Amino acid sequence: MSLETQASRIRAWCELHDAELAELVEDGGVSGGRALADRPGGAVLASLLKDRNPCTEAIVVVRLDRLGRDAAETLALLKLFRKGKVGLVSILDRLDLTSPQGRAMAGVSAVFAQLERELIAQRTAEALTELRNQGRVYGPIPFGYDGIDGELVESPGEQVVLAWMQSMRRRALSYARIAAALNGERIPSKQGGRWHAMSVRSVLLTNERLSGAELPGALA
């Protein structure tokens, strides 16, 4: 759900319940996996929970997992809401922390939200592994290959460059020296830019997984 959509839902809720929207707090581009107090916008909310004389009556979120992705942290935050002077409204979860049933449902929602995220992550990882084992396209096309009709097909020109990179690596050259050699020969990366130590490392490790070949361990 985009930030714009969330903001629209919160404004609509405030209008419906004749509530004044004091401030719209956003954490654009910040992972919800970070603790609430470690996020710029989240820190504003965390300080409200600790304030003895808060300037607002309640915090409104579209969904409970907007507060935090971790069930343990969310449950701890719910305790703070119950003990503090600031209320909590979760629009889609329809949570009401003023009742015992609402507090119980809030805890259950937090646990199942985390379970859902972990299951999605597990299924995604399994699907990507299966696609990789089948040699099918499952993300950015790796260096040395082209994507044709959903299949990974070796790119003759890039395979020559890849073989040279692997040869240098077998001679125990560092990733940085390999990158310098590629740039010296004006060989572009997959995206057409310059090579760097980390991009060389990524290309070699990705092709190692695809081919099952083994190369020496990491060097600086």
The pLDDT of residue 180 is 94
The pLDDT of residue 212 is 55
Residue 94 in any domain: the answer is yes
The pLDDT of residue 174 is 92
Shared domain for 86 and 160, answered yes or no, is: no
**In terms of Cα–Cα distance, which of 101, 102, 45 is closest to 73?**
45
The 10s digit of each residue's pLDDT in 70-83 is 666 777 777 777 77
Residue 140 in any domain: the answer is no
Shared domain for 118 and 9, answered yes or no, is: yes
Average pLDDT in the 147-155 region?
Answer: 74
Shared domain for 71 and 163, answered yes or no, is: no
Residue 135 in any domain: the answer is no
Average pLDDT in the 146-160 region?
Answer: 80
Shared domain for 102 and 207, answered yes or no, is: no
Report residue 149 as tokens: 């009709």
- pLDDT-derived band at 44, boundaries 50, 70, 90: confident
Domain of residue 118, residue span? 3-129
**In terms of Cα–Cα distance, which of 37, 14, 33 is closest to 24?**
14
Average pLDDT, the chain: 76
The pLDDT of residue 220 is 35
The pLDDT of residue 96 is 62
- pLDDT-derived band at 163, boundaries 50, 70, 90: very high
Residue 119 pLDDT greater than 90, yes or no? no
Shared domain for 164 and 201, answered yes or no, is: yes
The pLDDT of residue 1 is 64
Average pLDDT in the 197-220 region?
Answer: 68
The separation between the first and the last C-alpha atoms of the chain, rounded to the nearest angstrom, is 41
Residue at which a domain ends, from 60, 95, 129: 129
Report residue 187 as tokens: 């060989």
- pLDDT-derived band at 215, boundaries 50, 70, 90: very low
- pTM higher than 0.75 for the full model? no
